[in-house]
Structure 1
Amino acid sequence: MKVEIYSDIACPWCYVGKARFERALAAFPKASGVEVVYRPFQLDPSAPHEPRPHHEVLAAKYGPQARAMDARVTALGADEGITFDFDTVLENNSLLAHRLLRFALDTYGPAVQARLKGRLMAGHFGEGLDIGDRAQLADTAVAAGLDRDAVTAFLAGDDLTEEVLADIDEARQLGISAVPTFVFEGKWAVQGGQETSVFLQALEQVSRESSAAPAAPAAQDADSCADGACAVPPPGESAR
């Protein structure tokens, strides 16, 4: 079984969803036969390629409710054993990090890519990692098991940029408008950071070659990051 997970490093619900899905996979008897591949998606492709304090960025979008939004996600993360420290989070364009994830997939395979994805999210949300900084990305990649020289050389160029942008465009053509979205065997989609039981049920149903109809990703309110998913805004606007 192949599971493709469309997500953005800078999406808090993607981090929650990753933790819940991995817990479901650990409880799935046929987990050894499941291949998990992370696909790129950008909530805000137009985001500046420079680090910006998270609180300033979110306050500019949502005003006084921004702190409450962060508090809710922080509490959810604690329940899942993951850390959100929004005081340290730096917002930046995520394209470079997505290119690195594609490099990891192509060069090392899905398992290493998944490990790097986890390190990037842990660093971004809990350790002040700047996902647009090449040196910091290289350190993170090495911690995930990648070769420093190969990663440094890759990050110095533009390789895989077109491929990643094509993947993101393909996701939009598939109708994906909010992340995380989990696509099972290219037929069934589960959107949002669902409870672990939901992911486990999906794994079991697909394994049984369920006759359930393919589920198209549901639309979300533009410019939102609530109810288990972060949504993409209409053209011309930006997302969290």
Structure 2
Amino acid sequence: MRVDVWSDIICPWCYIGRRRFEQALAGFEHRDQVEVVHHSFQLDPTYPAGRTELSTEMLSRKYGMDVAEAAAMESKMEATAAGEGLEYHMDGLHIGNTADAHRLVHLAASAGLQDAMVERLFRAHFTDRRSVFSPSSLAALAVEVGLDPAEVEAVLSSDRYAAEVEEDAATASRLGANGVPFFVLDMRYGVSGAQPTELFTQALTEAWDTSSYARS
């Protein structure tokens, strides 16, 4: 059975949703027969490439709150992440355009390293305080997971996989996703948001039990 996942590297709920889904999958009887495929989704595809800003400034502007309120919101996010075994460092966190990061995820998929690339980018952004925006930092992260340095450089110095990133977003829109994380199980069951692990467990079970896999 296939599970398609749309997320953005700088989305704090996406990393939390990833962990909750992984916990559900780890306890799923048929986990060895589940293929997880990651798809690109940019929270703000219009954000200028090469520019970053503090996430608290973005939240303040987007939701009309002051910076102190935005910081308090991010502090709560750190606590939520900790509950899932994730170490978030939101103070001083920057956000920016993630198109290049998503293009590297597509490159990683061609090498069978997609899941490792997604995990490394999330951890770099939320835990390690490493940029997921600058080409040099992205290149180093990609090489860490085993991608060929020459291939990485070729992607980052071109628009390779840009069409695939756009198609991922278009597919999410066609499926009715207006935010991430967004999970589609067996191309029939949609789960939106970082739902509790128990809900992912239920969704996996229902999708499997009503699929052709259960009858084969």
Mark yes or no: TM-score above 0.5: yes
Q: CA RMSD in A?
A: 1.4
1:6–1:41 CA contact under 8 A, matched in 2: yes
SS in 2 for 1:178: coil
Aligned letter for 1:168? A
Question: In 2, Cα distance between the equivalents of 1:86 and 1:75?
Answer: 11
Question: In 1, Cα distance between the equivalents of 2:175 and 2:207?
Answer: 20
| Percent identity (aligned) | 40
Q: Per-residue deviation at 1:157?
A: 1.1
Where do 1:1-240 residues align within 5 Å? 1-49=1-49, 50-62=51-63, 63-64=65-66, 65-105=69-109, 107-109=110-112, 112-209=113-210
Which contiguous aligned blocks of 4+ residues in structure 1 show a shift greater than 3 angstroms? none
The count of corresponding residues between Structure 1 and Structure 2 is 207
Q: Per-residue deviation at 1:60?
A: 2.6
* Residue of structure 2 in register with 1:234 after alignment: none
Deviations 1:143-177 (A, max 9, x none): 22222222122211111111211221221122110
Q: Per-residue deviation at 1:21?
A: 0.5
2:183–2:190 CA contact under 8 A, matched in 1: yes
* Residue of structure 2 in register with 1:223 after alignment: none
- Compare 82-91 and 11-20 and name the one that shifted more: 82-91
TM-score between both structures, scaled by the size of structure 1 = 0.82
TM-score between both structures, scaled by the size of structure 2 = 0.91
Question: In 2, Cα distance between the equivalents of 1:135 and 1:25?
Answer: 34
5+ residue gaps in structure 2? Answer: 212-216
Structure with greater proportional helix content: 2
5+ residue gaps in structure 1? Answer: 211-240
SS in 2 for 1:183: strand
Q: Per-residue deviation at 1:53?
A: 2.1
Deviations 1:60-95 (A, max 9, x none): 333233122212211110011112111242211011
SS in 2 for 1:179: coil
